Structure 1
Amino acid sequence: MSVKPLRVVVVMIEPPLPFGSAAARWYYVLLRGLVERGHRVTAFAACSDASDVEKAAAMFPAPQYDLRCYPIENRKGVAAKLETIRRPHSHLFREGVRRELAAVLRKGYDVLHLETAWSGWTALDADPAKVLVNLHYLYAIDDANSSFVDIRTGLQRALRKRAERNLLHRFGTIAAITPRLESAARKITGGKVPVYWFPFAIDSTLYRFVPPQERPTRPVVSLIGSMNWRPSHSAAVRLLTRLWPGIKAQVPDAKLRIVGWRARSMLREYVDLSGVEIIEDVPDIEPYFNDSSVLVYAADDASGIKVKIVEAMAFGVPVVTNTEGIEGLPVRDGVHLAVSDDDRGLIERTVALLRNVPEQERMRLAARELIETQCSPARALDAVESCYRDIIGRRGGEHGIVTLASPPSDSITHSSFAP
């Protein structure tokens, strides 16, 4: 696609590492892709792990890339607590980041691209017409059915949702990685802000498809994900307490393995269960995907893409999930994975796959092909560039005539907002 280079400033809540956090996988595709397409990009990234600063610098070396990573500030004291109450998650970006971003913006730019609503705290003084916010999740969805815990937690949730809503009203353009988020964003803003859908993408060339001869000979049911993220934790508890007993009863030689950040501490009451292995904080997740017969991931009330499901499909691990698990993915039940919303159906689909290796092989081949075509970087970047074109076009093209090519006819990006 031939385009006129744009000046784009991107703000991310994690460094763009291909095997970092879930969001970081997309950031890696976004930054690399925009630069490869000729755009002049400066990227700011908050960094929760200091070691990731060096990793990101090595992967995105200057002067080819202008990537600026900043360790997250550990705020303490009453003032910090009050700021967190007033501006939830604003601690991700220290004051120095905001000043440096403002200095870059003063030199001129076409689009300020914010990843997640919380990046918006860095751009409160930016021209709203130049700002794009890309949503990966919404607390308006994730907390909608949360049960009452205590007054403090309830207050935190209410303040978080209010801040999320206020930030979405502040900026000129919104994008979302699933149609569900797109619809919710349009509802929150009352149709007053253009809302786009960006297809989620990973670089599938980084994922080695496991050949049949290297797959486990013993049936292994896996769940892989960060247990300090509520959706993954809820999926793990459901699997351990409601699904695994039924699976084990029908496939006695099966083993259950749960892998993820803080898995043993967050699931401490289950670590001694027979036939269950719980492993936490592993440096590399690939060996655990390679040794999985089936990934079972059925979370509750979780908006956004479930990246571990996408990765399982890329590695060639058959997936059993629920409707929440396929949000934003153009999959077909029984073709690319198995879907059921009730416990009985999830157990039956898992058992059927464990007993049918040829069906596993057919499904995982179809899933890998879908990831390569429908979750490709090219498809997602076409959508991003199309959105940039519209943002500049709505401003009257004050930076000159925009020559961004039109997206292909099968592109799934679109501008959709109520009049």
Structure 2
Amino acid sequence: MARILWVSAETPDRGGQGGQRRQFHQINGLIDLGHEVQVLSLRSDQSDSSIRQIASIRRFRVAVRGRSVRALLERMRWAIRSSDVDVIVVSHVDSRWMLPSDIRTVRPVLLDVHNVLSSWYDTRGLTELRDDELKAEQEAFDISTAVMTCSALEAERLRRSHPGLTPPVLVAPLGVDPREWPDEPMDREAPLVVAFGNWSWHPNHLGLQWLLDEVWPSVHAQVPGARLEIAGTGAGRSVHPGVTVLGRIDDLAALTARATVVAVPVFEGVGASVKFAESLATGAAVISTPDGANGVDSPPCLVSADATEWVEWIVARLSNRRSEPAPSPARAYALSNLTWAQAVAPIDMWIRPLAISS
């Protein structure tokens, strides 16, 4: 089995935001397959309690008053260079600066691009940001042995943005941890819709505003007592009737067990959403925009960006909620086909030969 050094500017965390959760579950999945993982991250207010339960972690301070930033940075890079590992995984283009410039000559490096931000900026007409990101991505590719994205669509965007790309591209999708989605009594008594996520993220913010302004008023008018409960940070307040903003909650499984519908509104999205796979695991019927669902081929839910279609579909589910399957068949699909063990398989296949040859 391989010895892996996982390098990331953010701290992998089961209870963190989407990127932190993704990294935690990827690391946990690789450990379950027998690999040894060491994590190197930065000191911050992000929690490292969950990752310490499964892997060793070393966190570096790179900005300290009265000490040379260059010296601290060189100390961190020396630790990376001298690590007794078979392969280095770097999470995000934004973590590239943590590595020595010649690291690819020392160890094989797998870069997790996850989201191709240059493509996202390009579609939004932000040419200056696109050009800056193209440069940053290329700098990261120059020190990488291979690159991975979160979906086939992102891999296509990556090749389109970088037609001369030389490192091979892997696709490592997102998954769910069945232990986080235990069986719950399904309750369809109330006409409840749930949406959860980090609503500060621009694509999620746009999607939530669209849901509140273009979809929910018609749903609420047609279904007496209909409620929309919004979980997660960054949603702000809502003055829309029938809407409750819950903020961060500890038990999503218990919340979604009461819902007939889980909504995944994402617009101008990039990458694949961790919350989409998790939404399928809830047991509720799921409706998503295309940008929210792009990480799963032919998902068992309605995928649409048409507000009228959303209204009609949600109204039908809520109005006939007592005859809705509880749990939805999508739950069994997610827990069988979208596990993290399957999601990390492409990473495992790339790493294993390197461990054997080292």
Q: Shorter-chain-normalised TM-score: which range?
A: 0.7 to 0.9
1:138 positional shift = 1.8
1:108 positional shift = 4.1
SS of match in other structure, 2:5: strand
Match of 1:308 in 2: 275
Mapping 1:351-366, distance limit 5 Å: 351-357=315-321, 360-361=324-325, 364-366=327-329
SS of match in other structure, 2:266: coil
1:98 positional shift = 6.1
Match of 2:241 in 1: 274
Distance 1:352 1:71 in 2: 54
Distance 2:181 2:140 in 1: 36
Does residue 385 of structure 1 match 2:348? yes
Task: Give the conservation status (yes or no) of the 8 Å contact 2:104–2:143.
Answer: no
Mapping 1:130-169, distance limit 5 Å: 130-146=108-124, 155-156=128-129, 158-169=131-142
RMSD: 2.9
Match of 1:324 in 2: 291
Match of 2:159 in 1: 186
Match of 2:224 in 1: 252
Match of 1:126 in 2: 103
One-letter amino acid matched to 1:208: P
SS of match in other structure, 2:291: helix
Match of 1:342 in 2: 306
- Which residue of 186, 211, 221 corresponds with 2:193? 221
Q: Identity of counterpart residues, as a percentage?
A: 23
Distance 1:239 1:309 in 2: 16
- Which residue of 33, 38, 41 corresponds with 1:37? 33
Give TM-score, length-normalised by structure 1.
Answer: 0.75
Distance 2:42 2:276 in 1: 25
Match of 1:290 in 2: 257
Segments of structure 2 that go 5 or more residues without pairing to the other structure are: none
Match of 1:171 in 2: 144
SS of match in other structure, 1:184: helix
1:140 positional shift = 1.9
Task: Give the conservation status (yes or no) of the 8 Å contact 2:62–2:72.
Answer: no
Segments of structure 1 that go 5 or more residues without pairing to the other structure are: 81-93, 149-153, 400-419
Distance 1:74 1:355 in 2: 59
1:158 positional shift = 4.4
Deviations 1:325-368 (A, max 9, x none): 21121344xxx211222111111111121123266426x44212
Distance 1:249 1:73 in 2: 54
Structure 1 window deviating more from structure 2 (286-295 vs 118-127): it is: 286-295
Match of 1:88 in 2: none
Task: Give the conservation status (yes or no) of the 8 Å contact 2:103–2:143.
Answer: no
Distance 1:73 1:191 in 2: 34
Distance 1:286 1:160 in 2: 37
1:284 positional shift = 4.7
Match of 1:263 in 2: 235
Match of 1:413 in 2: none
One-letter amino acid matched to 2:116: L
